[in-house]
């Protein structure tokens, strides 16, 4: 029997898909993560962070029957949490589960249950162990969110913030044989298990030998104490900050608890500790009530902050959030502002690459592409080497 596990969305989803894959392998399935493969069972781990992500999740679910008309399809994750019944009405879908109990959902299917759903949310952290990638493995340490930003449906779907047992995390890291691990969570900066904070975790995890990356940090989490803790361990100089906008008015409307100056200060502090750091972020464009002056302030803030790359998303309405009821920006204006951000991104990334010219970096190789072996440097620049190169890790 063959199964395909197709994952959309965040690193937390990727970690949870790994636990599903492990369960399937234990039951004798040959498992692929290539959505193009023929399979007896398709599992779609969905995303609902934007309306587009949810649309792609439904599209993937419908596509399974054309890839393999007799296959069963299981849907799980945030989009299923948001609309399980809608997914159950899609051809070949036999089960739909939300963000909790993903491995249990597979177990119920393997025990013969069909046409069922379970979108209950666990109030405590669910400890799961995934299969491992030899190159890079995600270590999930936290789930849920208490922030309730005005644009975001995730706290409703994922539930309140909950942190993983500290010793369980350290045990998993020690048992992991990957060349790099990535500490991940829905709101990683909020990690707190029985008084042990993210800084405590960073100190301990960074001394275990494996190269470590941190998936995402809030702006306010960037402090000298945190950066000093990272410097004492084997951490990559790569910071993904949850910024969203560089306009004070927009940040206030988003219910983000920081200012444009906080963004600039956090980025400059990072550069003091890590001069070659890559600083990336996600930016929402055309948020409700965003004026042209707000947009220009975002451009100015991000340039002053010295971001090296940004992922740009035009705002999309998520029903059930406060921002969905606010006055919306027209699509034409959004497209123009997206273009402005793309132009800035090209400049910032070009400047970053130019600043790295002539520097040496450690590269952990990941895959082959058109005659080259590819991988990423510590500060997440993609590198290409001929297959015969002798200095590949």
Mean pLDDT of 71-83: 92
Mean pLDDT of 68-89: 91
Residue 148 to residue 145: CA distance in whole angstroms: 7
**What's the pLDDT at 392?**
44
Residue 75 to residue 102: CA distance in whole angstroms: 10
Residue 138 to residue 354: CA distance in whole angstroms: 30
| Banded model confidence at residue 52, pLDDT cuts 50, 70, 90 | confident
| Banded model confidence at residue 393, pLDDT cuts 50, 70, 90 | very low
| Banded model confidence at residue 132, pLDDT cuts 50, 70, 90 | low
Kindly report which listed range (5-14, 151-160, 163-172, 362-371) carries the lowest average pLDDT score.
362-371
| Banded model confidence at residue 183, pLDDT cuts 50, 70, 90 | very high
pLDDT digits (tens, 9 = 90+) for 223-254: 999 999 999 999 999 999 999 999 999 999 99
| Token code pair at residue 58 | 């439904």
| Banded model confidence at residue 389, pLDDT cuts 50, 70, 90 | low
Mean pLDDT (the chain) is 92
**What's the pLDDT at 390?**
45
Q: Class of the 2-118 domain?
A: alpha beta
CATH assignment, 132-214+221-235? 3.30.750.210
Pick the CATH number of 237-359 from 3.30.9.10, 3.40.47.10, 3.40.50.1000, 3.30.750.200: 3.30.750.200
In the chain, % of residues over pLDDT 90: 74
Task: Kindly state the DSSP code that residue 126 receives in the 8-state scheme.
Answer: P
| Banded model confidence at residue 319, pLDDT cuts 50, 70, 90 | confident
Domain with CATH 3.30.750.210 in the chain: 132-214+221-235
In the chain, % of residues over pLDDT 70: 97
Task: Kindly state the DSSP code that residue 241 receives in the 8-state scheme.
Answer: E
pLDDT at 100 over 60: yes
Helix-strand-coil split of the chain, %, nearest 5: 40, 25, 35
For residue 142, which of 277, 10, 278 has the smallest C-alpha distance?
A: 10
**DSSP state string for 137-197:** EEEEEEE--S---TT--HHHHH-S-EE--HHHHHHHHHH---SEEEEEETTGGG-EETTEE
Domain with CATH 3.30.750.200 in the chain: 237-359
């Amino acid at each position: 029997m063959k199964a395909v596990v197709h994952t959309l969305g965040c690193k937390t989803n990727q970690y949870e898909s790994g636990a599903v894959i492990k369960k399937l392998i234990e039951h004798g399935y040959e498992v692929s993560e290539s959505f193009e493969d023929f399979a007896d069972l398709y599992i779609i781990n969905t995303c609902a962070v934007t309306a587009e992500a949810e649309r792609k999740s439904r599209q993937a679910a419908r596509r399974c029957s054309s890839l393999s008309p007799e296959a069963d399809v299981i849907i799980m994750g945030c989009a299923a949490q948001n609309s399980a019944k809608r997914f159950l009405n899609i051809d070949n879908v036999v089960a739909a589960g939300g963000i909790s109990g993903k491995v249990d959902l597979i177990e119920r299917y393997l025990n013969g249950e069909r046409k069922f759903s379970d979108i209950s949310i666990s109030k405590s952290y669910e400890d799961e162990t995934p299969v491992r990638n030899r190159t890079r493995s995600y270590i999930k340490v936290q789930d849920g969110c208490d922030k309730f930003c005005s644009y975001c449906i995730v706290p409703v779907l994922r539930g309140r913030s909950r942190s993983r047992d500290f010793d369980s995390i350290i045990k998993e890291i020690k048992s992991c044989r990957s060349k790099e691990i990535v500490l991940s969570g829905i709101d990683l900066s909020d990690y707190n298990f029985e008084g042990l904070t993210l800084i405590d975790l960073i100190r301990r995890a960074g001394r275990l030998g494996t190269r470590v990356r941190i998936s995402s940090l809030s702006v306010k989490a960037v402090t000298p104490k945190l950066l000093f803790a990272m410097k004492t361990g084997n951490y990559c100089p790569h910071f993904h900050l949850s910024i969203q906008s560089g306009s004070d008015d927009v940040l206030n409307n988003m219910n983000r608890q920081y200012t444009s100056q906080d963004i600039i200060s956090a980025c400059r502090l990072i550069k003091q500790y890590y001069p070659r750091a890559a600083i990336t972020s996600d930016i929402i464009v055309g948020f409700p009530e965003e004026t042209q002056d707000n947009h220009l302030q975002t451009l100015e803030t991000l340039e002053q902050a010295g971001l090296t790359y940004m992922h740009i998303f035009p705002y999309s309405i998520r029903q059930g959030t406060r921002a969905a009821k606010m006055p919306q920006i027209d699509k034409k204006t959004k497209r123009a502002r997206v273009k402005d951000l793309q132009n800035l991104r090209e400049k910032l990334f070009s400047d970053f690459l130019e600043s790295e010219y002539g520097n040496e970096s450690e590269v952990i190789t990941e895959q082959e592409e058109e005659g080259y072996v590819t991988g990423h440097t510590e500060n997440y620049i993609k590198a290409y080497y001929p297959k015969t190169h002798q200095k590949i890790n």
